Amino acid sequence: MKDNITQAGQKLLRAMARHSDIIMQAYVKGAVDEGQHSPQVLDNLQSLGILWRPDIESDLRLRRIVRALLEEGLSDERNRQVDANIGSALAKVTTLVAHYKEACNKHRFAEAESHMADLTELTYAMIDSLKQGVRGLWSRIHKEFGYVASIDAKIRENQLAQQQVTDILSQLEMFHFDKLAQEAGSNRDLRRLLVVTLQSNFAAVTQELSLVQARLNELLGRFREFQGRTRLLKGFVLHLEQQPDYSPQNYAKHSQVPNVFNQAQAIIEPAAVDVRNANHEAELAQIVGRIKAIFHLRSQTPQAAAQTVKVEQSEAVALAENKIRQSVEDYFCHIIDTGARLSALDYHVEHKLEFDHETWIYQVIGGYEALPTGDKAYFGLEKSLRDHPQFTGNKIIEDVALWFS
């Protein structure tokens, strides 16, 4: 039997998965467009109890249970229904308890177990539906009925929610725990289920509901205030439209001026500057510094006298650096002319140059490196190196030799 149920259930779920597009279309649009889908598929869905036709002329719609499942899964705010049919559920509980007791008395334990499972399911379903109702109410309160635009609609939604709270409360009144306790008798499992579980949840739901009710009343008050304000503003505009020459009575002339129109004149003016206050010296100096000079009396400002302009040749500025560069160039030319290998220091001594040795060698190397690659190929350069006495790996250039190749 269990295999059968499993198979049938899987078949149903598979059908739902296969035709999820049709189901979602029906969920979103409210009805299925029958022209788009094959009649066979639609018949199948109907026989599975997913879609139904309220009457012959209307479109195919989603069954309430499927819709409820989707609303729950999607936490859709359209889910505003509160189902709490406690009365019938309680009657069912009593019946099942009787079945269970009878089975126990006749020692048909397998049967009793199955009744117990049903009873557990039923109880939890009852608790869940109550909690679900409360959850739904809270979620709407938290959104402050944001899914409807106007204040009037919000007020209506609020009233609906209040009605639902009242409904749930009246359903809750149907719980008679003394009767349930009596039904449960001394059976441990029944007591746990019917008295302990139900009672603790009952208390929780009741408490929540009273909070919900308080919050709803508060919201309603706020909405009504908003509504009142809006109407006040609109009424004022309307009143002025109908009576353009209207102006309120002059309340300031009454012997008792109402508080709202008694507003004292501003009497504080900015304080004046005290230049003798030494503490303010720095700030005042800064302010004075920011004042720009303004010449109002233009005529007194001396006009710039005309001057003869002498055009002179700008003085040639020869840098010492140029001299050394010139010498380097001369050295290179000398190498080209003679074609012989000559060390830079020898040239320095030969021509009695006045530059520092190090500078000279540095400039020669620099001059060589600065040559274009093509020209560089004409020269050969060799550095005579010496190891640094202290730091190995460092070399000191003592001289460079240049030749024309």
Partner 1 sequence: MMTQQGQVLETLLSGGFVCRISNEDMFNFLQQPQTAQQIETQLNILNRTLTKAADGEVFFASYLSLADKERAVLERQFKEITANLLPLVEWLLLVQESTGQDMPLAQGSAIRLNELQSTIEDTPALLEQLGKISAFTLFGSTSKTADGQLKQIFKRLGELGYLVKPNSEKQIYIATGKLEYLYEVIRFIDETEALSLTEQAEAAMQQGVLL
Is residue 261 involved in binding partner 1 (CB under 8 A)?
A: yes
Is residue 185 involved in binding partner 1 (CB under 8 A)?
A: no
> Which residue among 28, 56, 266, 291 contacts partner 1 (CB under 8 A)?
266
CB closer to partner 1 out of 148 and 336: 148
CB of 66 to partner 1, least distance (A): 34
Number of residues located near partner 1, criterion CB under 8 A: 36
Q: Answer whether 41's CB lies under 8 Å from 75's CB.
A: no
Is residue 238 involved in binding partner 1 (CB under 8 A)?
A: yes
Q: Is 49 helix (H, G, I), strand (E, B) or coil?
A: coil
Give helix 109-142 / helix 86-105 axis angle, nearest 10°.
160
Q: Is 89 helix (H, G, I), strand (E, B) or coil?
A: helix
Is residue 293 involved in binding partner 1 (CB under 8 A)?
A: no
Where are the strands (E) in 42-110, listed by range? 51-52, 61-62
> Which residue among 18, 108, 239, 388 contacts partner 1 (CB under 8 A)?
239
CB of 243 to partner 1, least distance (A): 10
CB of 159 to partner 1, least distance (A): 17
Count of Cβ atoms closer than 10 Å to residue 327 Cβ: 20
> Which residue among 150, 159, 163, 210 contacts partner 1 (CB under 8 A)?
150
Is residue 142 involved in binding partner 1 (CB under 8 A)?
A: no
Q: Answer whether 372's CB lies under 8 Å from 389's CB.
A: no
CB closer to partner 1 out of 268 and 288: 268
Encoded one letter per residue, x for contact with partner 1 by CB under 8 A and - for no contact, window 370-389 reads --------------------
- Structure tokens of 83? 């189902």
Is residue 279 involved in binding partner 1 (CB under 8 A)?
A: no
Q: Is 315 helix (H, G, I), strand (E, B) or coil?
A: coil
Is residue 226 involved in binding partner 1 (CB under 8 A)?
A: yes
Chain position carrying tokens 């400002």: 301
Site for partner 1 in 240-259 (CB under 8 A): 240, 247-253, 257-259
Is residue 271 involved in binding partner 1 (CB under 8 A)?
A: no
Find the part of the chain contacting partner 1 (CB under 8 A) among 92-100, 123-131, 144-152, 336-344.
144-152
C-alpha 104/C-alpha 113 separation (Å) is 9
- Structure tokens of 346? 């020898």
CB of 248 to partner 1, least distance (A): 5
- Structure tokens of 127? 């608790």
For the chain, what's the residue count? 405
CB closer to partner 1 out of 109 and 251: 251
Q: Is 386 helix (H, G, I), strand (E, B) or coil?
A: strand
Q: Answer whether 202's CB lies under 8 Å from 169's CB.
A: no
Is residue 236 involved in binding partner 1 (CB under 8 A)?
A: yes
Count of Cβ atoms closer than 10 Å to residue 348 Cβ: 20
Is residue 267 involved in binding partner 1 (CB under 8 A)?
A: yes
Encoded one letter per residue, x for contact with partner 1 by CB under 8 A and - for no contact, window 151-170 reads x-------------------
φ and ψ at 29, to 5 degrees? -90, -15
DSSP 382: E
Is residue 143 involved in binding partner 1 (CB under 8 A)?
A: no
Write b or e for each residue in 246-281: b if 16 or more Cβ atoms lie within 10 A of its Cβ, otherwise e: eeeeeeeeeeeeeeeeeeeeeeeeeeeeeeeeeeee
Find the part of the chain contacting partner 1 (CB under 8 A) among 96-104, 114-122, 233-241, 367-375.
233-241
Residues that bind partner 1 (CB under 8 A): 149-151, 226, 228-240, 247-253, 257-268
